[in-house]
Amino acid sequence: MKTIQVVVTALMGLTVALVTLPAAAMDVDALVQKRQQAFKQNKKDAQRIKAALGSGDMQAVREAALRIAAWAKEMPAAFPPDSNPPPSDARDDIWLNWEGFKQKAEENRKAAQALADAVEQKAGADTLKVRFGALGQSCKACHDSFKN
């Protein structure tokens, strides 16, 4: 009787594991899709900023910079352990150098916030150009270290 209970318990555990495994995989796939969408939005926002700086639409610059800053703040949470299935472009270096990854995300957040702040302070075109350049460099630095 005890042997049957052990076998039944083991089979129940295996069944639960098999049922929840695909669900967990779907959650990871959804997470990868969500973060890829966020990065696509970042790219659109960078293009928006460039165009808006050219046209003088400072409100558009500020809004796009604030969206980038908000994503940068959330970014580390979008990369939990074991969340790197294809089609993810993330390098495993993210998890091997977690503190470095968080630092790059924070540098990106600060650069985006600095651009938004410069708009708020009605900074001149030269300052805005420098801040936008710094934002682009913060994106590149992270990609160089952590993206395939």
Q: Where are the domains of the chain?
A: 34-146
CB 82 within 8 A of CB 28: yes
> 34-146 adopts what CATH topology?
Four Helix Bundle (Hemerythrin (Met), subunit A) (1.20.120)
pLDDT digits (tens, 9 = 90+) for 57-83: 999 999 999 999 999 999 999 999 999
Residues facing residue 147 across a β-bridge: 90
Cβ-count burial of 68 within 10 angstroms (0-12 exposed, 13-18 middle, 19+ buried)?
buried
- For residues 110-128, give the mean pLDDT: 98
CB 95 within 8 A of CB 78: no
Averaged pLDDT score across all residues of the chain: 87
113-126 per-residue burial string, b: 16 or more CB within 10 A, e: under 16: bbbbbbbeeebeee
**The two structure tokens encoding residue 53:** 């700086």
pLDDT at residue 101 is higher than 90: yes
What pLDDT shows up at residue 26? 56
The lowest-confidence range among 17-31, 40-54, 61-75 is 17-31
What pLDDT shows up at residue 1? 53
pLDDT digits (tens, 9 = 90+) for 131-144: 999 999 999 999 99
CB 53 within 8 A of CB 118: no
